[in-house]
């Protein structure tokens, strides 16, 4: 069920009304019911995977919780013994829970990619043999709910909190419907208490929720869906376009991706807020990033945080990395020897983030691109300091800041070639075309007007992006735009309701890809 | 502003906007999903969604019909008028573009369950073996909930809250609507078929000209289609259910397969086609028109996948044993389980017809006035005219009447070896005094396109004092017709006026005046058609008046369509060239080219022009 469909709005509207009507102790049941409706309508039978994840996680965390309780209740002198006694069990359970989910995720999302990769080898070794392909339908939001659930298991393993003993309540944590499509990846201790809380109507929550949803729709419908028309037209047949048009399409893709993803997250967070639930922030003005590392702290924040807490730290603190650290410090003098293990862990993290996006060489390359740049910058950091000193660069100056932003956005821009091109090699070709055969006049000789958008659409996109940039800038410098608006007069606030609604209606509901009757029966 | 107030205002605004959209969409209803509305325009609505709009239309009009034709877009070309005649029924064409057999089944079940049905004609197109149960744009392709079991709430909500530009488009189209078919109103709501009045009025001639107009046939795109097990089984199962339901209800079921253009047929693996047709025969006997010599003739097709209405007429004539119209010998086989094997094997041997078996080349000569001295415009000297006629005789040419050409095209009647047409425009007295005797003497025949209003004007133009080249009278015309040498046909009654001599605005040709309303123009042209026909028939004793020469050679789509509707199905232009006639393709009788004959045309030139003549 897409966020932009009427059934979704009806589901949200009905759920919100019922949520505040039903007895308070049933409110979480209503959320669960709404989540099941959402998933069954949107994902059909794949709802079984949600149950599977919830069941594996539930079982594992109950066992882990039991051992945690034993340890906690044991006399001080026995704690160590108990810890040692159950350590293998606990490790086995947490490993089993992670494997149960990640193996399934692998089969669902990555098996066919691996099979294609291995098939040539199989052809040589066993001629005629075919590696069977998975025909399973990829469940809606599988990467999100599985990562969220695995994070919960690891937290319980770390004894951060007690496990949830009610399976249905845990099922609600796994399947809370607003975040099933695009995340964010929430933490149990932050989300579960909010899901289970008993609430009365809070008009401010409702207002904030609606405002956030409208902002999300603005980004998604007015900006992203419009830019998508041009992006799709070019990327369906990139070979027919000049380098400058390809670059322009990738530039639009950057806008589309941000509008679509962050807009989707705003809708998610807005809907949750209508139930009084505050979901984790997932974007924080990524355009103002000063480095690629900073970008990943601002873009898809919850994924980065998940990787940091559940992969980077365990990896960096693991014994093999410890040994590697000792080895590099001993054999490589200076700072370089110290940062090699961290750099390697960083590289692995970004590599995994790349693959997380999908099973394709493009994403492998995307991970490599990010990992390589960030690792390089880590390794070269001491040199940068020297260069900056030599060039007398003032790190606090506005221009240096601007340079860093532009540089980061250029790096992100070229990274997008990789993720949007139909194939990795096409991405390489596209970059080559951008530099070798740009044919710049295509940007002003009317070529852009043949790519599915009208002049009006370009104007809407330009104004939309301008509004977006202003809002982002304000939030970066001063804080919440919403809070600022609330200090204004009622008239301004009325306008702040009407204008967005009319804009949403005219440029969002009335889509750029509208097919008029003239196009329905072209052949007559 | 308090949050509560803010929310109230927000909700009020949303509700207001929602109500506006809902109200506007309900009022305009461009997809024809709601019966009874202020802005009713069935042909537009059927264009937007034939599946639903036709069912909606039938809710109010089903009493007018007792039989239905079902299938995808090619179904349109089985004319309901012919079916009505052959089966003494009242057919409605339910064609739905892009329909698969599930759509057809759902339509059939709805019709059989809700209305009294005498006959059901189901058309199967080869693509039905490739797709089944497919949905694309849901607004244009949605079947009504009565046929699918979809929740009416979901269905109607979709149309109530759709993009209101669909409704706005309808309003805009209302302003642009004309009598002629446009892309937004491609259906004839009364018959249910595509309204092909413009396409069926276009002049068709040589293959080269057709390739130029429709380059797709010259460079047919390469592709290959696979039939799929799901689609074949789905199609056959749907057809089985339709057959059984018809049996249960005592409804006459006729199954036909649509003609497929040969290059399109090449997309398919012959074995897969054979398997599909064999499976079809196990379900029900059917008339197979899919692959025959017709498939190789592009002039029998509107485009790469749609055969023309004239081909549909031939197909129905074959089904109902009507031998009054031309039908290629190999066109249409009644396939049963017994003969299906032999039939699919024979399909592999299908060949195009030789051009000389079904096409003819007919040059048409255009004379005007004959005098002692000719000029290089429209006057020819008597001596040269005689020389021309004698040359035709010596060259073995056989002059014909327009009626003979029509007989060739419509019934396949043979033409002589070197057919030509000798025509005269305007109706000058010299045609009577000079041309007629020469033709009679040499055993030739000719056709005079006369202007009704100036017939018998010898000295003056109509009732003015302006001098005129003398025109023959109706009595003289009658004499010529009676001789069997001359056929008198139309050059309009009074739509070839001489502007300087007319008081007020003159009608110099059959085109509409600038700014003239379509209705007024069509009325004027129709009245003129009636008047000239009536006058010629009454005054000269001519058998039939169905040919017209466009005054000044000018015409457009609206003029041609109006002429056809008024029974003028043989039309002559002043474009230069030889004419290609195609049996079974009546549009080759439209806009016939003519060579303008005057004093500058030597006998040698004439012989060069008539050289391609071939009967």
Q: How far apart are CA A156 and CA A71, in angstroms?
A: 13
Is B551 contained in some domain? yes
pLDDT for B240 beyond 50 = yes
Paired residues of B254 in beta bridges: B121
DSSP notation for B380-442: EEHHHHHHHHHHHHHTT-EE--HHHHHHHHHH-----SSEEEEEEEE-BHHIIIIIHHHHHHH
Answer whether A521 sits within 8 Å of B97, measured CB to CB: yes
pLDDT for B513 beyond 60 = yes
Within this chain, do residues B115 and B248 fall inside the same structural domain, yes or no?
yes
pLDDT tens, residue by residue, B2-56: 888 888 888 898 899 889 989 999 999 999 999 877 789 999 999 999 999 999 9
Pick the range with the lowest mean pLDDT from A438-442, B137-141, B199-203.
Answer: B137-141
Tokens of B539: 């005054």
Residues of chain B contacting A518 with CB distance shorter than 8 Å: 169, 183-184
pLDDT-derived band at A515, boundaries 50, 70, 90: low
pLDDT for B587 beyond 90 = yes
Q: Touching check for B3 and chain A: CB below 8 Å? A: yes
Within this chain, do residues B193 and B305 fall inside the same structural domain, yes or no?
yes
Q: What is the pLDDT of residue B2?
A: 82
Q: How far apart are CA A25 and CA A28, in angstroms?
A: 7
Within this chain, do residues B444 and B585 fall inside the same structural domain, yes or no?
yes
Within this chain, do residues B463 and B437 fall inside the same structural domain, yes or no?
yes
Within this chain, do residues B480 and B546 fall inside the same structural domain, yes or no?
yes
Name the residue facing A521 among B14, B158, B186 (closest C-beta).
B186
Alpha-carbon distance B296 to nearest alpha carbon in chain A (angstroms): 21
Is B6 contained in some domain? no
Q: What is the pLDDT of residue A524?
A: 47
Instruction: Tell which of B322, B347, B372 closes a domain.
Output: B347
Cα R_g (chain B), whole angstroms: 29
ipTM for the predicted complex? 0.76
pLDDT-derived band at A523, boundaries 50, 70, 90: very low
Tokens of B244: 């059984």
pLDDT tens, residue by residue, A348-376: 888 888 888 877 888 888 888 888 888 88
pLDDT tens, residue by residue, A500-511: 777 777 776 666
Q: What are phi and psi of B13, to 5 degrees?
A: -65, -45
Task: Find, in chain A, the residue whose alpha carbon is nearest to that of B195.
Answer: A524
Is B4 contained in some domain? no
In sequence order, what are the residues at sequence separation of 6 or more whose Cβ sits closer than 8 angstroms to the Cβ of residue A348?
A311, A315, A371
Q: What is the pLDDT of residue A336?
A: 74
Residues of chain B contacting A213 with CB distance shorter than 8 Å: none
CB B454 within 8 A of CB B431: no
Alpha-carbon distance A489 to nearest alpha carbon in chain B (angstroms): 8
Tokens of A510: 């009335």
Answer whether A204 sits within 8 Å of B3, measured CB to CB: yes
Name the residue facing B165 among A498, A502, A510 (closest C-beta).
A510
Q: What is the pLDDT of residue A43?
A: 72
Alpha-carbon distance A267 to nearest alpha carbon in chain B (angstroms): 17
Residues of chain A contacting B10 with CB distance shorter than 8 Å: 207, 210, 497, 501
Is B41 contained in some domain? yes
Answer whether B183 sits within 8 Å of A206, measured CB to CB: no
pLDDT tens, residue by residue, B367-392: 999 999 999 999 999 999 999 999 99
Alpha-carbon distance B607 to nearest alpha carbon in chain A (angstroms): 41
Within this chain, do residues B385 and B491 fall inside the same structural domain, yes or no?
yes
Name the residue facing A521 among B2, B47, B164 (closest C-beta).
B47
Q: What are phi and psi of B370, to 5 degrees?
A: -115, 130
Alpha-carbon distance A215 to nearest alpha carbon in chain B (angstroms): 14
Residues of chain B contacting A494 with CB distance shorter than 8 Å: 1, 9
Residues of chain B contacting A497 with CB distance shorter than 8 Å: 6, 9-10, 13
pLDDT tens, residue by residue, B528-543: 999 999 999 999 999 9
Answer whether A510 sits within 8 Å of B14, measured CB to CB: no
Q: Touching check for B12 and chain A: CB below 8 Å? A: no
pLDDT for A522 beyond 50 = no
Q: How far apart are CA B92 and CA B86, in angstroms?
A: 14
Q: Touching check for B28 and chain A: CB below 8 Å? A: no
Pick the range with the lowest mean pLDDT from A167-176, B139-148, B433-442.
Answer: B139-148
Q: What is the pLDDT of residue B435?
A: 97
Q: Which domain holds residue B246?
A: 29-347
Q: How far apart are CA B552 and CA B575, in angstroms?
A: 10
Q: Touching check for B85 and chain A: CB below 8 Å? A: no
Answer whether B157 sits within 8 Å of A6, measured CB to CB: yes
Within this chain, do residues B178 and B62 fall inside the same structural domain, yes or no?
yes
Within this chain, do residues B280 and B424 fall inside the same structural domain, yes or no?
no
Is B415 contained in some domain? yes
Higher pLDDT, A394 or B314: B314
Name the residue facing A493 among B6, B157, B169 (closest C-beta).
B6
DSSP notation for B274-321: HHHHHHHHHH--EEE-SSSGGGG-GGGBSSSS-B-HHHHHHHHHHHTT
DSSP notation for B459-503: SBSTTSS-B---B--HHHHHHHHHHTSEEEEES-SSSS--GGGSS
Task: Find, in chain A, the residue whose alpha carbon is nearest to that of B172.
Answer: A517
Distances (CA, A) of A490 to A205, A207, A495: 19, 15, 9
pLDDT tens, residue by residue, B397-409: 999 999 999 999 9
pLDDT-derived band at A514, boundaries 50, 70, 90: low
Tokens of B444: 């030739």
Within this chain, do residues B510 and B399 fall inside the same structural domain, yes or no?
yes
Q: pLDDT > 70: what percent of chain B?
A: 100
Alpha-carbon distance B420 to nearest alpha carbon in chain A (angstroms): 35
Instruction: Tell which of B316, B347, B378 closes a domain.
Output: B347
Is B539 contained in some domain? yes
pLDDT tens, residue by residue, A56-79: 999 999 999 999 998 888 888 888
Within this chain, do residues B369 and B326 fall inside the same structural domain, yes or no?
no
Q: What is the pLDDT of residue B443?
A: 96
Within this chain, do residues B339 and B372 fall inside the same structural domain, yes or no?
no
Q: Touching check for A497 and chain B: CB below 8 Å? A: yes
Answer whether B6 sits within 8 Å of A207, measured CB to CB: yes
Q: Touching check for A444 and chain B: CB below 8 Å? A: no
pLDDT tens, residue by residue, B545-567: 999 999 999 999 999 999 999 99
Alpha-carbon distance A450 to nearest alpha carbon in chain B (angstroms): 22
Helix (H, G, I), strand (E, B) or coil at A29: helix
Alpha-carbon distance A4 to nearest alpha carbon in chain B (angstroms): 13
CB B2 within 8 A of CB B10: no
Instruction: Tell which of B304, B320, B347 closes a domain.
Output: B347
Pick the range with the lowest mean pLDDT from A108-122, B246-260, B369-383.
Answer: A108-122
Q: Touching check for B180 and chain A: CB below 8 Å? A: no
Task: Look at chain B and report how many structural domains it folds into.
Answer: 2
Is B16 contained in some domain? no
Q: What is the pLDDT of residue B137?
A: 63
User: What would the mean pLDDT of B492-521 be, rounded to a whole number?
Assistant: 93
Q: Taking all residues of chain B, what is their mean pLDDT, rounded to a whole number? A: 94
Answer whether A203 sits within 8 Å of B2, measured CB to CB: yes
Within this chain, do residues B94 and B205 fall inside the same structural domain, yes or no?
yes
User: What would the mean pLDDT of A137-142 be, rounded to a whole number?
Assistant: 79
Is B19 contained in some domain? no
* A 179-238 near B (Cβ less than 8 A): 203-204, 206-207, 210
Alpha-carbon distance B33 to nearest alpha carbon in chain A (angstroms): 16
Name the residue facing A207 among B3, B169, B199 (closest C-beta).
B3
Task: Find, in chain B, the residue whose alpha carbon is nearest to that of A510.
Answer: B163
Q: What are phi and psi of B422, to 5 degrees?
A: -105, 120
Answer whether A203 sits within 8 Å of B3, measured CB to CB: yes
Paired residues of B366 in beta bridges: B423, B596
């Amino acid at each position: 069920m897409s966020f932009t469909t009427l059934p979704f709005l009806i589901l949200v509207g009905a759920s919100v009304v019922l949520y505040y009507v039903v007895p308070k102790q049933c409110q979480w049941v209503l959320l669960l019911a709404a989540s099941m409706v959402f998933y069954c309508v949107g994902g059909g039978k794949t709802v079984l995977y949600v149950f599977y994840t919830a069941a594996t996680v539930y079982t594992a965390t109950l066992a882990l919780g039991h051992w945690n309780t034993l340890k906690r209740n044991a006399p001080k002198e026995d704690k160590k013994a108990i810890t040692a006694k159950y350590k293998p069990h606990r490790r086995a359970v947490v490993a089993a829970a992670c494997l149960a989910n990640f193996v399934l995720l692998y089969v669902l999302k990555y098996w066919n990619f691996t099979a294609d990769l291995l098939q040539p080898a199989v052809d040589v070794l066993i001629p005629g043999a075919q590696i069977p392909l998975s025909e399973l339908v990829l469940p809606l939001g599988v990467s999100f709910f599985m990562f969220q659930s695995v994070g919960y298991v690891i937290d319980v393993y770390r004894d951060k909190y007690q496990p949830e003993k009610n399976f249905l309540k845990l099922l609600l944590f796994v399947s809370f419907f607003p975040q099933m499509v695009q995340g964010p990846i929430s933490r149990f201790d932050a989300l579960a208490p909010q899901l289970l809380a008993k609430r009365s109507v809070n008009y401010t929550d409702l207002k904030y929720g609606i405002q956030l949803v409208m902002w999300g729709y603005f980004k998604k419908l007015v900006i992203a869906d419009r830019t998508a028309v041009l992006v799709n037209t070019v990327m369906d047949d990139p070979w027919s376009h000049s380098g400058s048009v390809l670059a322009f399409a990738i530039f639009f893709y950057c806008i589309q991706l941000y509008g679509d993803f962050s807009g989707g997250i705003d809708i998610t967070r807005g809907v949750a807020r209508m139930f009084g639930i505050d979901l984790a922030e997932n974007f924080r003005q990524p355009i103002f990033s000063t480095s690629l590392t900073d970008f990943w702290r601002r873009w898809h924040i919850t994924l980065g945080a998940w990787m940091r807490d559940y992969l980077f730290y365990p990896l960096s603190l693991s014994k093999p990395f410890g040994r590697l650290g000792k080895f590099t410090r001993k054999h490589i003098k200076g700072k370089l020897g110290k940062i090699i293990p961290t750099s390697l862990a960083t590289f692995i993290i970004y590599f995994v983030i790349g693959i997380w996006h999908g099973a394709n060489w493009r994403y492998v390359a995307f991970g490599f691109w990010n990992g390589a740049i960030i690792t390089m910058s880590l390794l070269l950091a001491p040199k940068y300091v020297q260069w900056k000193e030599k060039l007398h660069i003032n790190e606090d100056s506005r221009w240096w800041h601007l340079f860093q932003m532009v540089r980061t956005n250029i790096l992100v821009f070229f990274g997008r070639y990789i993720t949007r091109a139909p194939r990795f090699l096409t991405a390489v070709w596209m970059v080559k075309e951008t530099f070798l055969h740009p044919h710049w006049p295509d940007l002003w000789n009317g070529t852009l007007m043949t790519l599915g958008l009208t002049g009006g659409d370009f104007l809407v996109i330009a104004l939309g992006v301008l509004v977006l940039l202003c809002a982002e800038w304000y939030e970066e410098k001063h804080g919440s735009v919403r809070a600022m608006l609330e200090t204004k007069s009622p008239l301004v606030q009325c306008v702040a309701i009407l204008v967005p609604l009319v804009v949403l209606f005219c440029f969002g509901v009335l889509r750029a890809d509208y097919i008029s009757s003239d196009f329905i029966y072209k052949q007559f | 502003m308090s949050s509560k107030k803010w929310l109230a205002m927000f909700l009020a605004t949303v509700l207001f906007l929602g109500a506006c959209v809902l109200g506007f969409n309900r009022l305009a209803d461009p997809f024809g999903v709601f019966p009874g509305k202020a802005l009713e325009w069935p042909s537009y609505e059927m264009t937007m969604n034939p599946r639903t709009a036709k069912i909606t239309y039938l809710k109010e009009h089903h009493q007018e019909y007792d039989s239905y034709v079902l299938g995808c877009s090619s179904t349109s070309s089985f004319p309901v008028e012919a079916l009505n005649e052959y089966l003494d029924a009242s057919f409605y064409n339910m064609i739905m573009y892009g329909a698969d057999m599930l759509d057809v089944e759902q339509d059939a079940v709805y019709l059989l369950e809700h209305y009294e049905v005498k006959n059901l004609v189901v058309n199967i197109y080869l693509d039905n073996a490739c797709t089944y149960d497919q949905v694309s744009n849901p607004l244009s392709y949605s079947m009504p909930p009565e046929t699918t079991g979809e929740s009416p709430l979901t269905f109607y909500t979709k149309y109530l809250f759709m993009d209101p530009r669909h409704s706005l488009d309808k309003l805009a189209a209302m302003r642009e609507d004309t009598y002629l078919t446009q892309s937004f109103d491609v259906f004839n709501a009364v018959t249910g078929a595509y309204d092909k009045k413009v396409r069926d009025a276009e002049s068709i001639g040589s293959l080269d000209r057709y390739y130029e107009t429709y380059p797709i046939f010259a460079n047919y795109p390469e592709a290959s289609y696979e039939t799929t097990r799901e689609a074949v089984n789905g199609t056959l199962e749907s057809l089985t259910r339709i057959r059984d339901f018809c049996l249960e209800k005592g409804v006459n079921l006729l199954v036909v397969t649509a003609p497929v253009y040969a290059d399109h047929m090449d997309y398919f693996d012959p074995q897969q086609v054979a398997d599909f047709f064999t499976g079809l025969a196990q379900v029900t006997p059917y008339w197979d028109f899919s692959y025959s010599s017709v498939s190789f003739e592009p002039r029998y097709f509107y485009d790469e996948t749609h055969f023309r209405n004239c081909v549909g007429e031939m197909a129905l004539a074959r089904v109902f044993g009507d031998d009054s119209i031309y039908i290629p010998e190999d066109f249409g086989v009644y396939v049963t389980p017994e003969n299906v094997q032999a039939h699919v094997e024979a399909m592999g041997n299908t060949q195009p017809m030789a051009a000389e078996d079904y096409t003819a080349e007919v040059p048409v000569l255009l004379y005007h006035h004959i005098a002692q001295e000719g000029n290089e415009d429209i006057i020819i000297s008597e001596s040269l005219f005689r020389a021309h006629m004698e040359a035709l005789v010596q060259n073995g040419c056989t002059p014909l009447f327009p009626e003979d050409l029509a007989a060739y095209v419509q019934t396949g009647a043979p033409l002589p070896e070197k057919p030509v047409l000798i025509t005269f425009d305007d109706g000058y007295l010299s045609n009577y005094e000079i041309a007629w005797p020469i033709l009679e003497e040499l055993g030739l025949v000719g056709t005079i396109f006369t202007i009704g209003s100036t017939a018998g004007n010898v000295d003056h133009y109509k009732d003015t004092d302006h001098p005129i080249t003398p025109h023959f009278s109706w009595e003289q015309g009658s004499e010529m017709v009676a001789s069997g040498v001359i056929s008198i046909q139309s050059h309009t009654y009074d739509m070839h006026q001489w502007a300087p001599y007319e008081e007020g605005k003159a009608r110099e040709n059959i085109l509409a005046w600038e700014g003239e309303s379509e209705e007024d123009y069509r009325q004027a042209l129709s009245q003129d058609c009636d008047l000239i026909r009536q006058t010629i028939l009454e005054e000269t004793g001519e058998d039939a008046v169905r040919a017209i020469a466009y005054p000044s050679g000018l015409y457009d789509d609206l003029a041609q369509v109006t002429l056809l509707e008024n029974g003028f199905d043989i039309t002559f232009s002043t474009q230069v060239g030889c004419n290609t006639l195609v049996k079974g393709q009546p549009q080759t009788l439209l806009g016939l080219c003519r060579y303008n004959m005057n004093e500058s045309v030597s006998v040698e030139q004439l012989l060069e022009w008539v050289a391609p003549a071939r009967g």
